[in-house]
Structure 1
């Protein structure tokens, strides 16, 4: 942690890569752990697919609305310290999370790689709709279209503008800090391939993950680790 503190203080261009483990301390379950989202239903990847949305919209809606929304969740110390770094150090953030907590914490220079659950729109007329309206009914009152959250589903691709913005951030970084992700989900995991050869990589996780040559691990609970950081 002392070495990480020194890295942060000396770095000129910090990029945080975050995943579901950043939000579990806020009460939002991750995906693949024993108590994760994917253990609550059979075939969850289908339920979060484009096919399900198009062919069985009610099934898609019930899974998303009942299992993915946590509107009372609040940013934890990890979100807050990262947000502070985005203000003080102009750090950048690329997150897999769709829960909006980085935004709630006031993070600047943020790429929500897989979108945001709280941005909802009508597939028929394109109008933006408050997520609370969506949680009451999947049908758009205005035109009768089916509403959907602006998240990337299975069988969908990352928007080119989002992908290019993330690649640019990574390629310009001199310090990459990975937190709360196993780096197994692509194309997010592939972003580190675009790093500079001089960039330092450090991951904070309770379990060891695969890192490129030269990467370092801090095997510690991320909450405890970020509590120790002075940002």
Structure 2
């Protein structure tokens, strides 16, 4: 990556007054010990069958076996609850402080680490939901409830009858569901701010894509929108992604094969330099 050329583009982006957008995926949280859905830790055993995370995290599986889906998410919630923000999360907080209302954080992560790091809710858009909340699985209302409070769960943990009552919707008695976008669902504005983040993409002077393989819809959607306006796109990932082929040919595309923390440290240093010089 040509960091000198990037610095000039970043200065231009800051002076434009438009959004500088950070689109974040699961790779950012790996350094905090949170496994990805698609990684080797993303399997779940039901009876004698092994299922992948993208098979467990579906509305279809919830309808077939809500308790097994809850076991999976209670286990993942335990991991998230114990995790702490890593340096990459903290850098994003520092960048927000420097950029103010030009900063937009669009995160595919549901682990609450952006909140723990101190990023503001008004500039953070959780497009895959938030594991701090649950809602009625039957959609009797759009009320968000606090995620059920239980003791830490492992892969082998069961759910007691008393705990099962905590999983019932207070209004209708049906099972609650974690407030996350499942793999067989589509984005919407009500829960996932899809139209809002699309507008942000269209008004971005620079897009950072951090720690995501591009297997979900949002990265490609953002890259299409931002590249339509010929704005710079920077891919920060330790390996190639679904959109590497595009960025290699895109005149304003940048790629760096570093960890999120390593690359963001450089970005933060450049932003400080630009801010202090202007």
TM-score normalised over the length of structure 1:
0.86
Structure 2 equivalent of residue 107 of structure 1: 119
Counterpart CA distance in 1 for 2:237 and 2:206 is 17
In 2, Cα distance between equivalents of 1:57 and 1:104 = 29
Q: Which residue of 2 aligns with 1:19?
A: 25
Deviation of the 1:220 alpha carbon:
1.1
Q: Which residue is 1:158 aligned to?
A: 187
Aligned length: 230
1:133: how far off? 2.5
Q: 1:31 aligns with which of 16, 34, 37?
A: 37
Stretch deviating more after TM superposition (84-93 or 221-230)? 221-230
Question: 1:77: which partner in 2?
Answer: 87
CA contact (8 A) 2:44 2:56 kept: no
Q: 1:115 offset after TM fit, Å? A: 0.6
How far off its partner does 1:106 sit? 2.3
1:133 match: 149
Whether 1:204 aligns to 2:236 is yes
Q: Is the 8 A contact 1:139 1:147 kept in 2?
A: yes
CA distance in 2, matches of 1:10, 1:54: 50
Aligned-partner Cα distance in 1 for 2:199–2:70 = 34
Measure how far apart 1:139 and its partner are.
Answer: 2.5
CA drift at 1:169:
1.0
Aligned to 1:226: 264
Question: Which has a greater percent of helix?
Answer: 2
Q: Please tell me whether the aligned partners of residues 120 and 134 of structure 1 are also in contact (alpha carbons under 8 angstroms).
A: no
- Map residues 139-178 of structure 1 onto 2, 5 A cutoff: 139-140=167-168, 142=170, 144-160=173-189, 162-178=193-209
Instruction: Determine which of 227, 237, 255 is the counterpart of 1:217.
Output: 255
Unpaired runs of 5+ residues, structure 2, are: 152-162, 273-278
RMSD (CA atoms): 2.5
TM-superposed deviation, 1:168: 0.9
Q: Hey, what does 2:66 align to over in structure 1?
A: 57
TM-superposed deviation, 1:120: 1.5
- Greater Rg, structure 1 or structure 2? 2
Contact 1:15 1:173 in 2 (8 A): yes
